Structure 1
Amino acid sequence: MTAVPRFHTPRDPSRRSLGPKLGKLAAALGMPLMPWQQMAADVALEIDPATGRFAYKRVVITVPRQAGKTTMTLMLGLHRLLTTETGKIWYTAQTGQAARERFIGDLVPPATKLLGPAVTVKRGAGDTRMSFPAIGSQMRPHPPNDEYLHGEQSDLNLVDEPWAYTEIQGDALVQAFLPTQNTRPNAQTVYLSTMGTADSKWWHDIVDDARAGVAGTCICDWGLPEAGDPSDVEAVIAAHPAVGYTIDGDVIREAHAQMKPAEFARAYANIRTATRSAVFTAETLKRVITSDATMTAGSSVAIGAAVSWDRSRGVIAAAGYATDGTPVVEIIDARPGSGWMPARLQELDNAHAPLSVLVDGRSPASTVATDPAVEDVITIPESRAVAGGTGSFLDRISAGTIRLSWDAELAAAFDVLALRVVGDLGQMIDRKHSAGSVAHIEAAMLALTGLEQAPAPAPAPMIWSMNDA
């Protein structure tokens, strides 16, 4: 196994674990666990010696797509089905229909193939279940609400793809299954999912709590480090725990070529994103966002500055030219708040004498644009100039005729970027409806605008005399 977990609750060697037995069951059934699955099982099924019960009531498993999540779900369910007398195991997904379809389509067929007549299956619309009659245990799907489980009991609740749940759905689900566990001393809840989108706050809060070490919860978290570059497909491959076991790198390379960058980052890098779609494809951004972007020494530069919609972060960018005449944009400063920006812009103006320092006066950076300390430094562009600069910035990215120096926050901002049409001016950055801060993109756009729209240098003065006539 070459990949390493991003976050993982360590195995406590002072506790025995049922993880090895689950691994033996999987191997005996012809579905041996991959190393990441065994690591997860070993921690998730640790026994607290003081109580004789599972040490973790809540298990959080987040892995990239095609990592073997379905197999892990099946083996956790079968292990409990086969070892818990009169046990009740419940499985749910984001809708009742999805839960039933996945239960019947993904979990039942391999279970019946592996265990044959030892298990019985009912597929009725109102009564879908898989049972182990020898000890009276059963596993059933259910919709994610507080009605279906009323009056029931549960030993294990398996929650599939919780990234797709809204906060209302997630809270309703918890209210559904917590009462069912009250009389089951060894009850557990296991969440299995990739990371989510802007709508996945409920799931991301669960992950963040687990990473922070909240009591009674363990986490098994695999994927690209969240500061990494999800457009670097080889890094994504290296971080995927199933590569070399059930998939190879070409599968991920093909997905990278076909998917939009935000969805690829979520699905295969297992990085939370702030939107479901993106303005530019991964391949387009890969051509222009690069660590090799370098301005020519002595190149004229322009500076752009922007502030995020919630005013939590200020960003300054610079634009100049490479040796071949291609514009190069670089993020040169980004910090919390905006109070630091006037002094920093004055410092940059003194040090580099830029062609211009652009700040949009009709934006959250208006307090910077109107600060008396930099009134002789700042240029506030007209709306038409901003629209023209935005169009040029977007066109250059699409055509690959610009270089953006690699910056993790700048790259991530393209995942959340939204555009709006303003009258006959064309497209402009939509700060309000972008699903996160786009200040890095706005600062970069303004820097490019200042570079491209700078007035031509005045001609050298000429002295005429009558003798020249």
Structure 2
Amino acid sequence: MTTTSETWAPPTEFAEDLRERYGLECPPRWGTPRHPDRLSLGPKLWKVMAKLGAPPMPWQKYVSDVALEVDPDTGLFAHREVGLSVSRQQGKTELTLGAQVHRAMAWPRQNIVYAAQTRGMARQRWEDEFWEKISSSDLARYARIRKSNGNEAILFPGKRSRMGITANTEKAGHGPPLDLGFIDEAFAHEDDRLEQAFSPAMLTRKMAQLWWASAGGTTKSVWLNKKRDKGRELIEALFAALAEDAAAVRPRACYFEWFAPEEMNRADPATWRATLPALGFTVTEEVIAAELEKMDPAEFDRAYLNRTRKPTPPSDPNVPKAAWPGLVDAGSKAGADVAFAIDVSQDRKRAAIAAACRRPDGKVHLEVVAYRPGTDWVVPAMTRLHSLWKPVAVAVAASGAPASSLIDDLVAAGIDVPEDKEHPERGDLAVMRSGDVIEACGQMADAMNQGTVRHLDQVPLTAAVNGARTRRNGDAWTLDRTSSLTEASPFVAATFARWALVIRGPHVLEDYDPLDSIY
């Protein structure tokens, strides 16, 4: 059995187009496709980057080519907003600088404002990186710097354009009309004050653009997380529309995100190759491997896999999380006599099917068989598993639990509730009452402490264990879907599957040895 998870991915022809156009072998998971009928000023920006000593990599060519598309009907930029979410050390700074210098030199009287985490950080990058690259390049003769505090600017006298900096405040961007606003390191911004300050200053500028860029942040990165959610939604809707009509209207914002879903192993170079578009150009696998060795895993995920860093879960005394890593057995496999269980998340956005079976050594193998969005797939999947494996039982919690709504459909699909509860048949539903759930949770905790279960270290299951929270039920406790820090259904399903195996096994397995439950 293998874990099944669904993370949205663009159509294969999108990656093929990027490979053909730009030689890009690492496409973004979410990315605006190039409009085939629009001219673009992207190649002009590429020349600027080359003059600045950083010829664009394929991913930078793609992003800038889309970002600087020109609407043939208006002659204006097709995109008023450009969002970029990419991991650290991928060349974001070079693209940022290139976009600003191109703007300053392409049109007269351009007002460009750059913001980072703080004004101090913006000035440091502006002076130590931006100006250093400009002043040592072939473009140095076109620019000069003004360093007076509060009035810092890189000036382009021939075009009367300026590249300035600002602070992360509600007054940022106030003053002259703004042609290009750039919000860098967006993970550090906890609200939308900069966007709200920049936007009004752009209203009268027909070619104005707001660019923002960042690697992944934390749960406190409210503005970035909102932008990423909106960007993903925008791209998924766009590809759905294009599938129906190639001439579908496109949004006025473009978005690009390279990202490794949780189920991708952080230590696997294949994950890096699918997530880091500069790999093989400015960074190597050896460098990333060294970063993995020295960094906290959660920070590595944020910096190089573009994942949002979540708070370290507080310990719940009822769930022996510390024992879980020692129960990993990558070679463990399901056997013939397997029990399944179904659980649904509290908000019904995801569901899980887990399996449990007794190994020849007496240990119980646990595995998440399927974990996907929604619930419409559960009954068909369970029906197929039921047919293929002829399980000991299929467990599902009774009324009051989210998965109980599936019981009637399971019965209609031929997975029956036993007529005689004392004498169930192989494959019947095991509908768990509150006492059964309490029993199952306590048994799982004991099994983890006693080392009698084994698992494959699957990401959804391990994450659910680490984030599990419990609630009291009399003098006992049960797993709590609502307060758990991660989505709990994989762990709940595994707990119920183990219970079904242990409780139903004696009733339906002819060769069941009761001593296996004692020793």
Give the TM bin, normalised by the shorter chain. 0.7 to 0.9
Q: 1:46, CA displacement in angstroms?
A: 2.1
Quote the Cα distance in structure 2 between the aligned partners of 1:233 and 1:130: 43
Question: Hey, what does 2:197 align to over in structure 1?
Answer: 176
User: Residue 327 of structure 1 is aligned with which of 364, 385, 396?
Assistant: 364
Quote the Cα distance in structure 1 between the aligned partners of 2:217 and 2:80: 23
Quote the Cα distance in structure 2 between the aligned partners of 1:160 and 1:449: 51
Question: Hey, what does 1:21 align to over in structure 2?
Answer: 44
Q: 1:242, CA displacement in angstroms?
A: 0.7
* Contact 2:440/2:496, CA 8 A, preserved across alignment: no
1:70 aligns to 2:105 (yes or no)? no
Residues 420-448 of structure 1, C-alpha deviation per residue, up to 9 Å, x if partnerless? 6979x999855334454221122223434
User: Residue 252 of structure 1 is aligned with which of 288, 297, 301?
Assistant: 288
Question: Hey, what does 1:463 align to over in structure 2?
Answer: none
User: Residue 346 of structure 2 is aligned with which of 305, 309, 329?
Assistant: 309
Change (3 A) 1:441 1:306: same
User: Residue 44 of structure 1 is aligned with which of 67, 74, 80?
Assistant: 67
1:295 aligns to 2:334 (yes or no)? yes
Question: Hey, what does 1:466 align to over in structure 2?
Answer: none
Question: Hey, what does 2:130 align to over in structure 1?
Answer: 107
User: Residue 241 of structure 1 is aligned with which of 267, 277, 284?
Assistant: 277
Quote the Cα distance in structure 2 between the aligned partners of 1:146 and 1:195: 23
User: Residue 105 of structure 2 is aligned with which of 79, 82, 86?
Assistant: 82
* Contact 1:162/1:203, CA 8 A, preserved across alignment: no
1:353 aligns to 2:361 (yes or no)? no
Give SS of 2:493's match.
helix
Quote the Cα distance in structure 2 between the aligned partners of 1:453 and 1:256: 43
1:444 aligns to 2:494 (yes or no)? yes
In structure 1, give the amino acid aligned to 2:277.
P
Q: 1:112, CA displacement in angstroms?
A: 3.5
Question: Hey, what does 1:59 align to over in structure 2?
Answer: 82
* Contact 1:233/1:253, CA 8 A, preserved across alignment: no
Pairwise mapping of residues 174-253 of structure 1 onto structure 2 (< 5 A)?
174-198=195-219, 199=222, 200-211=224-235, 212-213=237-238, 214-224=250-260, 226=261, 229-231=264-266, 233-239=268-274, 240-253=276-289
* Contact 1:163/1:193, CA 8 A, preserved across alignment: yes
Residues 271-303 of structure 1, C-alpha deviation per residue, up to 9 Å, x if partnerless? x4472446999xx9799485x54223x34x444
Q: 1:391, CA displacement in angstroms?
A: 6.3
Quote the Cα distance in structure 2 between the aligned partners of 1:27 and 1:394: 60
Quote the Cα distance in structure 2 between the aligned partners of 1:450 and 1:9: 47
Q: 1:122, CA displacement in angstroms?
A: 4.2
Question: Hey, what does 2:17 align to over in structure 1?
Answer: none
Quote the Cα distance in structure 2 between the aligned partners of 1:324 and 1:383: 27
Quote the Cα distance in structure 2 between the aligned partners of 1:195 and 1:289: 31
* Contact 1:261/1:278, CA 8 A, preserved across alignment: no
Q: 1:67, CA displacement in angstroms?
A: 1.1
1:157 aligns to 2:207 (yes or no)? no
Give SS of 1:178's match.
helix
Quote the Cα distance in structure 2 between the aligned partners of 1:260 and 1:426: 36
Change (3 A) 1:56 1:147: same
* Contact 2:358/2:364, CA 8 A, preserved across alignment: yes
Change (3 A) 1:458 1:435: closer
Change (3 A) 1:392 1:144: farther
User: Residue 138 of structure 1 is aligned with which of 136, 146, 162?
Assistant: 162
Q: 1:386, CA displacement in angstroms?
A: 1.8
Give SS of 1:39's match.
helix
* Contact 1:236/1:268, CA 8 A, preserved across alignment: no
Q: 1:234, CA displacement in angstroms?
A: 1.9
TM norm structure 2: 0.70
Pairwise mapping of residues 349-388 of structure 1 onto structure 2 (< 5 A)?
351-354=390-393, 357=395, 359=397, 376=421, 377-379=430-432, 380-381=435-436, 383=438, 386-387=441-442
Quote the Cα distance in structure 2 between the aligned partners of 1:63 and 1:289: 34
1:402 aligns to 2:454 (yes or no)? yes
Change (3 A) 1:90 1:146: same
Give SS of 2:40's match.
coil
Change (3 A) 1:156 1:288: farther
Quote the Cα distance in structure 2 between the aligned partners of 1:286 and 1:21: 56
Residues 193-234 of structure 1, C-alpha deviation per residue, up to 9 Å, x if partnerless? 23455444412233124413352222333344x486243622
* Contact 2:437/2:478, CA 8 A, preserved across alignment: no
Question: Hey, what does 1:417 align to over in structure 2?
Answer: 467
In structure 2, give the amino acid aligned to 1:26.
M
Gaps of 5+ in 1: 461-469
Quote the Cα distance in structure 2 between the aligned partners of 1:177 and 1:119: 25
Quote the Cα distance in structure 1 between the aligned partners of 2:286 and 2:326: 18
Q: 1:244, CA displacement in angstroms?
A: 0.8
TM norm structure 1: 0.76
Question: Hey, what does 1:465 align to over in structure 2?
Answer: none
Quote the Cα distance in structure 1 between the aligned partners of 2:164 and 2:406: 59
Question: Hey, what does 1:275 align to over in structure 2?
Answer: 310
